Structure 1
Amino acid sequence: MLNTKLSHVQKRKLDDYSTKAKSFLLGVQGNNGFLFKFCVYGLLIVIGFVYLFPIIYMSSYSFKSLEDLLNPLISWIPSTFYAENYEVAYRVLDLFPTLAETLYVTVIPSLAQTAVAAVIGYGFARFDFPFKKIMFGLVLITFIIPPQVLLIPRYVFFNELELIGSILSFLLPALFGQGLNSAIFILIFYQFFRMMPKALEEAAHLDGAGNFRIFVTIAIPMAVPAIIISFLFSFVWYWNETALASLYFGNELTTLPIELGKFNATFDQMYTGDTEADNINEGISMAGTMLSILPLLIVYFFTQRWFVEGVDRSGITGE
C-alpha cells in the first residue's frame, strides 16, 4: 500500500516535471517557449550577420596599412588604425563638394516626388471621376516598365529642351509623377488615404472646409508615416542611381556613387608614381566605399525610429 502511494507521488512529480519542461521548451501556446525563441533569435542573428558582414569587412580593411594587408597573420583587427586611407579617399572623392552636389540632386527631387505622389494618391483615393480605374492601372503599369526602356527617348527629349547637365532632368519627371519608382509611392499614399475615415472629411465639410484645406490640415498630418517611408525610399533610390545620373548630368553635376565608380581612375590621375606606395590598394578602396555610404548610414541612424514606425503603420516593407 505504501509502495503504491509512493509510486503515485513519484508519478505526479514526473508529470509536473514533464509539464514544466514542456512549458519551458514549447511555451503555453507554442510561440513563447525556449525552442521557438531560440530558432527566431538564431535566424535573426544569422540574417543580421549577413547584412552586417560587408560593413564590418569594409570597416576593418579601410583602417589597414599596406603592411597589414600583406601580412597573412592579420585578418580582422589591424595592428594600428591607419587613417591615411581615409585622407587619400577624401581627396580622391573631393568629399564635401561632391556630397553637396549629391544632396542637391537627391533631396530636392525626393521632396518633389513625395509631395506629388501624396497629391495623386489622395486624388485617386478620395475622388471619383471618369476612367479612374483605367488611369490608376496605367499609373501602376509604369512601375513595371524598366527605366532603361525610356532612357534614349528621354535623353533625346531632355537634350532638345536643353536640360542635360541640369537637376531639372531629375526634377521635372518627379513633378509630373514620373520620377524613380513614383508609382509605388502613389500606391502607398492611395492605400493610406483609403484607410482614412470619411467621417473626418464630412465633419470638415460641415465646418465649411474645402477639399484643399482638408487635404492640408487633416490628410497630410495623418499620412506622416507614409510621407516618411516615401521620402526615405525615394532619397535612397535617387542617391544610388548612377546610370541615369551619368547620362543626364554629364560633366556638370556629379554624385558620390558616380565618383566612387571612377575612384580607381581618379586615384591613378592624382597619385601616379613608380613606388608601391603610390598604387591603390584594398584599404584605400574600402575607405572610399565607406565614405560614400556613410551619409546614408547617418541618415538612417537618426531616422530609424520614424522609419520603423512608418513601416509598421503603413504596412510597407520595401523591395
Structure 2
Amino acid sequence: MKREKLENSLVKIKRIFMGMQGTDGLLFKLLTYGLLIGIGFVYLYPLLYMGSFSFKSLDDLLNPLVNWIPTEFYLGNYEKANEVLNFFSTLLETLYVTVLPALAQTAVAAVIGYGFARFEFKGKKVFFVLVLATFIIPPQVTLIPRYIFFNELNILGSLQAFLLPAAFGQGLNSAIFILIFFQFFRMVPKALEEAAQIDGAGHLRIFLTIALPMAVPAVIISFLFSFVWYWNETYLAAIYFGDQLTTLPLQLQKFVATFQKMFPAEMGLSGNQLNEGIKMAGTVLSILPLLIVYFITQRWFVEGVDRSGITGE
C-alpha cells in the first residue's frame, strides 16, 4: 500500500510539473513565460530608459539617488528637443517623403505579385528570379549608378528620388512585398476569378473587385513595413535629398550639432548645456509617430502577419 501511494504521489507530481503531454505542465509554463519575459524586457528596456530619463531635470540627472522615477514631471527637455527638431514641420515633411512612396510601392507590388501569380508568359521564371535578386544585391552596389542616373534625370533633392523607384517596383525592399502578394494571390481560389470571367469581367476588374479586396492583410503588411522602412531610411535620404528635404531621423542625427548652434553654451547658464535628458526627449519625439501608428493599427497588423504568411511559411 505504501509503495502504491508513493507511486501515485510521484505520478501526480510528474503531472503537475510535466503535464499530460509535456507541454502543459508547470515546468514548461515557467520556462515559456520566463523566456517571454526576458525577451520582452530586452525590447522594453530601451523605451523605459528613454521615457524615464526624458522627464528628468538636470538636478535629477546629477542626483545619484534618483534612478528610474524622476522627482518631478519635467517637460523642459521636450521643449528644447521640440525647438531643435522643429518637430511639427519636420513631421509633416517626414510623412510627405514616407507615406507617398509607401503607397506607390504597395500598389505596384500588388500588381506585379498578381501578374506573377495568375499569368503565364515567356521568361516568367527568369523575371521572377531577377526580381528576387534585387533584394539579395546590397543597395550600396547600385548606389553610385543610381545616383548618377537620378542626377541626369534632375530629380535629386526632390521626392521623385524615392517615388520614382517605388512606382517601378524598385523601392526599398520591394522584392519582399512582391513575394508576399505573389504567395497571397496564389492562395486565392481560381474558381472565383473563372466565375467572374464567365460573367464577362476583364482581368483589371477581377483584380480590383475580387483579388485585391481578398488581399487586404497583405496590403496592410506591405504598407506598414514599407512605411517604417522609408521612415527609418537615413543613408539614402541624406544622399538623395541633400538639404532640400529632411526627416525626423535625419534631424536626430544632427541633434547635437543643431542644439549647440541654437543654444551656445555660456558660463553660468546650465540650461544651455546639452544633457542626456534632452537627448532622450529628442529620441522619444522621433519614434513617437511610429509608436502611435502601431498602436492604432496593431489589430490589422497582427491579422495581416497571420494571414499573409510573412513568418516564413
TM-score range, shorter chain: over 0.9
Q: Distance in 2 between matches of 1:81 and 1:38?
A: 37
List aligned pairs for 1:36-185, cutoff 5 A.
36-185=28-177
- Classify the secondary structure of the residue corresponding to 1:300: helix
Offset of residue 18 of structure 1: 2.7
Could you say which residue in structure 1 is the equivalent of 2:195?
203
Provide the secondary structure at the position in 1 that maps to 2:139.
coil
2:280 is the alignment partner of 1:286: yes
Paired residue for 1:304? 298
Whether contact under 8 Å (2:157, 2:244) holds in the other structure is yes
Q: Quick one: which amino acid aligns to residue 288 of structure 1?
A: G
Contact 2:180 2:309 in 1 (8 A): no
Q: Which runs of 4+ in 1 moved over 4 A?
A: none
* Aligned position for 2:184: 192
Three-state SS of the structure 2 residue aligned to 1:150 is helix
Give the Å deviation of 1:12.
4.1
Counterpart of 1:258 in structure 2 is 250
Taking structure 2 as the reference length, the TM-score comes to 0.96
CA offset digits 1:219-262 (Å, max 9, x no partner)? 11111111111111100000000011111111111100000001
Larger Rg: 1
Q: Helix, strand or coil: the match of 1:159?
A: helix
| Whole-Å separation in 1 of the counterparts to 2:298 and 2:109 | 22
User: Amino acid of the residue matched to residue 158 of structure 2?
Assistant: S
The within-5 A match list for 1:2-13 is 7=1, 10-13=2-5
Q: Normalising to structure 1: TM-score of the pair?
A: 0.94
Match of 2:232 among 240, 259, 279: 240
SS at match of 2:140: coil
Give the Cα separation in 2 of the matches to 1:15 and 1:112.
Answer: 68
Write the distance in 2 (CA, Å) between the matches of 1:300 and 1:12.
57
**Percent identity of the aligned residues?**
70
Letter in 2 for 1:141: A
Aligned equivalent of 1:29, options 7, 21, 24: 21
Unaligned runs of 5+ in 2: none
TM-superposed deviation, 1:13: 3.6
CA–CA separation in structure 1 for the residues paired with 2:241 and 2:306? 37
Count residues with an aligned counterpart. 310
